Structure 1
Amino acid sequence: MLDQLLGAHFNLMIGQGLPRPAPAAVMEQFASAEIAASDRERSGFELVFEAGRSGTVAGVFPIMTEPGLQAGSRVVITATIGIRPHVLMDGIIEQAEFTPAEADSPATLKVRGKDMGFVMDREEVEAQHPAQGPGEIAMLVLAKYAQYGILPTVIPPTTAERPNPIDRVPMQRATDFAYLTELAAAHDAIFTLIPGPAPLTSTAYWGPQPRIGLPQPAITTDMGPETNVSGLNIENAEAEAASVSGQVQDRQSGQTIPVQSVVPLRPPLAARPALANASTARRNLFQTNGAPTAAQAMGEAQAQSDASLDTVTVTGDLDTSVYGGILKPRGLVGLRGAGFAHDGLYYVQSVIQKISRGTWTQSFTLNREGVGTTTPVVLP
């Protein structure tokens, strides 16, 4: 148990194999935690503890000998706001850093780790996946990790094909995590591990950015007592949006065919997307590393274009006691008070939770494909 903080109740579980609640002696030395969650990179954490010397054995720092804080230990951090628990992190400790005491600063132990993608990123694999589309490959690979509480959610891309084994066999020469990430990027999808919904479980999501569903409580700026954000910054790199076109020789027919990206299929979040601005939009040549079929080339071209579309980036900091909840990545959130051009819905790309006794802030990065809102009202 961390502490009763800002109306939130925190719990820390640690241990080799099956983690258990951290001993009271460990939690008495807790100083802070930082948890970074992203939709495209492995989420990570850092726990900081004061490292006091033993009162009975010279040269011994008891916190350093705690088995649950050694490399390879599993760490589960949960927070309960009201009656609903939220899993903030489920991961593995990868490294530790010890800083001796100096002047008025106590000695500290910092342990760092990543999410449960750790178990998927340890062994490079050479494997074939004949007659399987990307969604089928993702399900097959993820099925190996059920023993770690990793639950797969796979949404196959609509433009994907199931290759004829006589023509082409998908090959894997990488760790499972790296291969699924690469496979997702080729189809404008993401592969990410989401902690929860229950402790000791994670959801392995492979599919398009989840830009649907109910938005989270709004981020509010410049609205007097309703303001809940600080340091808000909005950047619009409109000239980075690009369509993709070119030619490819179809491997099946041998004919040269044109390739052209089209309007993206994902739900729009902006009324005026950057790609629609003919004065700034780029036209990129289609790039491929192999000899795809026509259908595969179309899907790759669309993925290359879609990767450039999120030109508006919003960053800032939330005081959790004012915001009143936990902002989660891989979903939608409303922004209000920033004017007609910038109000509306955004996709939450990443969130960094910074927790210490008495404070809890959340640094966020949001994005969307242009300016102007697609919704007339952003609810608090």
Structure 2
Amino acid sequence: MPALGMRLTVLTGRTVPVPLPGPLTARVRAVRVTESDDHRSLFSLTLDAGRSRTAGALDPVGLAGSPLAAFARVAVVVSFGAVPQVLCDGIVTEVRWTPGHRSGEATLTVTGEDVSYLLDRVERDVEHPALDDLPQVLAILQRYATDGLVPAALAPPTADPPLPIDRIPTQHGTDFEHISGLARRNGFVAYAIPGPTPGTSRFYWGPPVRAGVQGALSVDMGPETTVSTISFRTEAWAPTVVSGAVVDRRTDAVVPIVVPVATRLPLAAVPLWVSARSDLRERRVRDAGSDAIAAQAQAQAQVDRSVDAVLAEGELDGARYGAVLRARALVGVRGAGWSHDGFWYVRRVEHTLEPGSYRQAFTLARDGYGSTVPAVPVTAVG
């Protein structure tokens, strides 16, 4: 699927993904990958499943003996010039064949989830004696080293080492559920990052990442325009303050929990949670966690997640942009006026690759209006 120096490569296999055979590659109609900061990444491949005397005479193409079978590993790589980027590294979870009544209508659609699916298959009832949160995460991720999953876990700001005579951490659920629960109690996030090479991924466990700036999205700038459509809206009800009290497990004392402000570095010159302070929603602490420190971290995370009240939704011409826009990172916007220019957090991107085109539908978010910088970088930095 070449488009102005862009090349798409699909690799698949039961264990180590290898390039899709030429006859199947020629049948690829579309590839879609959806990245989001609150769900696992999803992918789908749509292939022409038409049958002829030489192809699919006994069975539809892509079914019997296909490398795109259920539970196969799939890597989608997009290259701009000589620079490849792994767009998705995942596992096939569904194969759907739709016969057609006319020529060219039959399709084979292969869908799947990123490799964190591997952590979500088996429910376990196990104990993790003397292991704090970070050692638990590292011990669990070690099981998936042979699957090409590399830990990228950071230490939480507070430690609560469990003494076996006091308590023993237990797990009741899948590895992914347990790791995600540990992340939430520390105000952290947990997700898989594809690459840097096909068949490998990093599993990030740590604070939300809002660093590293991607190449700017250009709006209404003549020949430099990269955004096909864009709109902005404000969810005025989103910003929240949290307060309440919990009974500390260690001391049995009632500890007040008050989180009036966010700790995230503002992306806007006029954050809505500051300018509309008296109108913010107020919420009570509901989950005390294991102690007051954990409850404070969860309340702070709830406030931090709520501040992104201004959203931008649109579609990007991937060939003109010349890069892959990634979720869970920052991007600059220029040409939209002072209120909406500047840095934004990329919340969601849906990549659609078809013969001759590459579209990226995106959702951006930030905490208010106005740019904090005089200009945003045109190319990626950091």
TM-score tier, shorter chain, comes to over 0.9
Answering whether residue 236 of structure 2 is matched by residue 238 of structure 1, we say yes
* Residues 16/140 of structure 1: CA separation in 2 closer, same or farther (3 Å cut): same
Please say if residues 288 and 295 of structure 2, whose CA atoms lie closer than 8 Å, have aligned partners that are also in contact. no
**SS of residue matched to 2:348:** strand
* Residues 296/113 of structure 1: CA separation in 2 closer, same or farther (3 Å cut): same
Q: CA deviation at 1:279?
A: 3.1
* Residues 249/60 of structure 1: CA separation in 2 closer, same or farther (3 Å cut): closer
1:66-105 correspondence runs (5 A): 66-103=65-102, 105=104
Deviations 1:23-53 (A, max 9, x none): 1111121111101112221111110111121
**SS of residue matched to 1:342:** coil
Q: Structure 1 stretch 157-166 or stretch 314-323: which is displaced more? A: 157-166
The residue aligned with 2:246 is 248
1:214-363 correspondence runs (5 A): 215-276=213-274, 277-288=276-287, 292-363=290-361
The residue aligned with 2:370 is 372
**SS of residue matched to 1:314:** strand
Look up the equivalent residue of 2:14 and give its one-letter code. Q
The alignment's C-alpha RMSD in Å is 1.9
Q: Structure 1 stretch 314-323 or stretch 369-378: which is displaced more? A: 369-378
Look up the equivalent residue of 2:185 and give its one-letter code. A
The residue aligned with 1:25 is 23
Give the Cα–Cα distance (whole angstroms) in 1 for the partners of residues 254 and 33 of structure 2. Answer: 49
Please say if residues 234 and 313 of structure 1, whose CA atoms lie closer than 8 Å, have aligned partners that are also in contact. yes
* Residues 345/162 of structure 1: CA separation in 2 closer, same or farther (3 Å cut): farther
Q: CA deviation at 1:267?
A: 2.6
Give the percent of matched residue pairs that are identical in Structure 1 and Structure 2: 38
Give the Cα–Cα distance (whole angstroms) in 2 for the partners of residues 114 and 361 of structure 1. Answer: 20
Please say if residues 133 and 160 of structure 1, whose CA atoms lie closer than 8 Å, have aligned partners that are also in contact. yes
Deviations 1:197-230 (A, max 9, x none): 11111011111221123x1111111222222112
Deviations 1:143-187 (A, max 9, x none): 211111111111233245334444443322111112222222233
Q: Structure 1 stretch 52-61 or stretch 312-321: which is displaced more? A: 52-61
Please say if residues 16 and 67 of structure 1, whose CA atoms lie closer than 8 Å, have aligned partners that are also in contact. no
Please say if residues 74 and 91 of structure 2, whose CA atoms lie closer than 8 Å, have aligned partners that are also in contact. yes
Give the Cα–Cα distance (whole angstroms) in 1 for the partners of residues 147 and 236 of structure 2. Answer: 42
Q: CA deviation at 1:265?
A: 3.0
Which runs of no fewer than 5 residues in structure 1 stay unpaired? none
Q: CA deviation at 1:289?
A: 5.5
Deviations 1:89-127 (A, max 9, x none): 111111111111123542110011111112111101122
* Residues 324/63 of structure 1: CA separation in 2 closer, same or farther (3 Å cut): same
The residue aligned with 2:113 is 114
How many residues align? The count is: 376
Please say if residues 348 and 365 of structure 1, whose CA atoms lie closer than 8 Å, have aligned partners that are also in contact. yes
Give the Cα–Cα distance (whole angstroms) in 2 for the partners of residues 5 and 268 of structure 1. Answer: 37
Deviations 1:350-371 (A, max 9, x none): 2111001111101111112222
Give the Cα–Cα distance (whole angstroms) in 1 for the partners of residues 345 and 57 of structure 2. Answer: 53
Look up the equivalent residue of 1:148 and give its one-letter code. D
Give the Cα–Cα distance (whole angstroms) in 1 for the partners of residues 170 and 284 of structure 2. Answer: 26
The residue aligned with 2:199 is 200
Deviations 1:249-308 (A, max 9, x none): 222222212111153333321222222222321221111155x32222211221222222
Q: Structure 1 stretch 298-307 or stretch 79-88: which is displaced more? A: 298-307
Q: CA deviation at 1:342?
A: 1.6
Look up the equivalent residue of 2:111 and give its one-letter code. R
Please say if residues 354 and 361 of structure 1, whose CA atoms lie closer than 8 Å, have aligned partners that are also in contact. yes
Give the Cα–Cα distance (whole angstroms) in 1 for the partners of residues 100 and 232 of structure 2. Answer: 41
Please say if residues 116 and 176 of structure 2, whose CA atoms lie closer than 8 Å, have aligned partners that are also in contact. yes
Which runs of no fewer than 5 residues in structure 2 stay unpaired? none
* Residues 318/375 of structure 1: CA separation in 2 closer, same or farther (3 Å cut): same
Please say if residues 268 and 371 of structure 2, whose CA atoms lie closer than 8 Å, have aligned partners that are also in contact. yes
1:36-51 correspondence runs (5 A): 36-51=34-49
Look up the equivalent residue of 1:328 and give its one-letter code. R
**SS of residue matched to 2:62:** helix
* Residues 157/339 of structure 1: CA separation in 2 closer, same or farther (3 Å cut): farther
The residue aligned with 2:208 is 209
